[in-house]
Amino acid sequence: MVTKIRNLMTVLSMLVLAQCVRGTQAEPRQEPNATKPKSQTKADKQANKQANKDRGETSKEKQDAKHTMLDTGPLPSNNMDFSPFGIYEKTAPLPAQAEPLATELPLQILAGDRIVLIGNTLLERSQEFGRFEAFLQQKFSTHNLKVRHLAWSADTIELQPRPDNFASTSQHMTHEQADVVFAAYGFNESFASEAGLELFRTKLSQFLRDLKSKSYNGRSAPRIVLVSPIANENVTSVKAADKNNANIQLYVTAMREVASEQSVGFADVFTDTQREMESPGLDLTINGIHLNAAGDDVFSRALFRRVFNEEPPKISSELQLAIIDKNRQYFRRFRPLNTFYYIGGRNKDYGYLDFLPAMRNFDLMVANRDRRIWDIAQGKSVPAQVDDSNIPPLPKTPQSRGANEWLSAEDEQKAFKVDPRFEVNLFAGEEQFPEVAAPIQMRWDSRGRLWVSCSTTYPHVYPGNEPNDKLIILEDSDGDGRADKSTVFADNLNIPLSFEFGTAASISPICQT
């Protein structure tokens, strides 16, 4: 029983440590019977001023819970207004009405065009490969195109759930001043089979009428290309083609007819991808539905041929990698991990998180990568690394100063208030295992090992950084009640909020993406 109690208290102690580590990310809690603090007297203010000065003189001796030095010195004045960098449903502009334009293929691309991709997983995942955009940038190498991915997995033409106060696709397209729109829908809708076909026709017609009658760029309606679903593929785990392709074909036919009625471009990538997926060889999908790298190459080439009526140009891996990097930075700006701090209930009170200044910096980083893409497409020499020397430091904010100071396990334990019937013992501390910084969740397995998910990235990826969070296994191999072995089970994670044990010792981390 004592052992069980001690294990329970170990978990409790580590949970308390986790709360201390993440203390600056929890809202201040008012005790039920607590009185409001009195206003400061002149003497109070003078004492606080002296305390701040003292902290500034000793800041080099302090670390925060993420093992970085604390700067507790005086704050600089900062009068910059960061509000323009917030894109909120409640305040972001909507597009004005415009006279619709007919879009004919081959598609006309103009110098300086801003191209957005909207729709479902097909176009969302394409940003991870960068191939279709590379074809665009190389084909129109002197046009200085800006391409932005606004697609969202599982979106349909009428159902696009978002976090509270997240701006709509239309608002984001207005923010990006879209001239050209690639819209990929139809696959999710096809699961309604033939019974849902007429309703789909009606909804698609309404969607296209609305889309083509808006001025996202402030001057004219957009040129629009409606992109069909790809074919599904039979793979070992699932016969997706047998299950889905007949229904997809029905919806592709309907899309072609509606696109013609609405005078927008239509790219049938179903036919081309079906032909490739039925031929023997390597799988083109990861699950019968979603493309792998080889499948994206087939899709991107098919889309380019359908839109421009010619073969795509040769592209370099350098160009493709530059585009993937740009897309990654833009994704962090478009869809920050912690939307509750960016657009939700804490977007005004928790300035220490620097979300709006971070959004400004992401905008600058994306612009730097746009220029690098244009230079590579034009055959110019570029440095090995992107030049981000124009990115300003994030401003200091009072909420971050000193509240997250790192303490040793011994000092942490001194602050515990423990019922005398219980005992708290240390199982693992950061002095011995620095990799367990900023724990978020922990769980014991059947072998007595403690698994801990740790995130120094939380609450979001800061501009210029890359996530490197970990899932750690702590083990007491000699049975003395303290961990003596640490193993990194998984690294390069992105805010692993929790994890779950599966069969055969498998683990399923639940991460932000």
- Rounded distance between C-alpha atoms, residue 440 and residue 177, angstroms: 39
Q: Which range among 115-124, 278-287, 495-504 shows the weakest confidence by mean pLDDT?
A: 495-504
Transcribe 313-378 into DSSP letters: PP--HHHHHHHHHHHHHHHHHHS-S-HHHHTSTTTTT-GGG-HHHHHHHHHHHHHHHHHHHHHHHT
**What are the φ/ψ torsions at residue 475 (nearest 5 degrees)?**
-135, 135
Long-range contacts of 203-207 (CB under 8 A, 24+ apart): 203/157, 203/158, 204/157, 204/254, 204/255, 204/258, 205/258, 205/261, 205/262, 207/157, 207/158
Q: Spell out the domains of the chain, with CATH numbers in brackets.
A: 2-24+57-66+408-511 (no CATH), 96-346 (3.40.50.1110)
Strand-pairing partners, residue 272, are none
- pLDDT tops 50 at residue 156: yes
Confidence bin at 80 (pLDDT 50/70/90): confident
3-state secondary structure 5-33: HHHHHHHHHHHHHHHHHCHHHCCCCCCCC
- Rounded distance between C-alpha atoms, residue 469 and residue 361, angstroms: 22
Q: Are 270 and 249 in contact (CB under 8 A)?
A: yes
3-state secondary structure 230-276: CCCCECCCCEHHHHHHHHHHHHHHHHHHHHHHCCCEEECCHHHHHHH
List, for residues 305-318, the tens digit of each pLDDT value.
999 999 999 999 99
**Is the peptide bond between 163 and the residue preceding it cis, with omega within 30 degrees of 0?**
no
Q: Cα–Cα distances in Å, from 317 out to 144, 147, 298, 323, 372?
A: 19, 18, 17, 10, 14
Q: Are 134 and 321 in contact (CB under 8 A)?
A: no
- The 10 Å CB-count burial string (b at 16+, else e) for 317-326 is eebbebbbbb
- pLDDT tops 60 at residue 382: yes
* pLDDT given at position 67: 54
List, for residues 316-342, the tens digit of each pLDDT value.
999 999 999 999 999 999 999 888 888
Q: Cα–Cα distances in Å, from 31 out to 18, 34, 383?
A: 21, 5, 56
The closest alpha carbon to 423, from 4, 5, 87, 1, belongs to 5
Phi/psi zone of residue 67: left (φ > 0), alpha (ψ -120 to 50 degrees), beta? left
**Is beta strand 439-444 parallel, antiparallel or unpaired with respect to 450-454?**
antiparallel
List, for residues 275-304, the tens digit of each pLDDT value.
999 988 899 999 999 999 999 999 999 999
C-alpha torsion 317→323→325→329, nearest 10: 180
The residue-averaged pLDDT of 166-192 equals 98
Higher pLDDT, 502 or 286: 286
- pLDDT tops 50 at residue 168: yes
- pLDDT tops 90 at residue 347: no
Percent of the chain exceeding pLDDT 70 equals 80
Q: Are 462 and 362 in contact (CB under 8 A)?
A: no
DSSP SS3 for 107: coil
Q: Tell me what the pLDDT averaged over the chain comes to.
A: 85
**Is the peptide bond between 106 and the residue preceding it cis, with omega within 30 degrees of 0?**
yes
Amino acid at 343: I
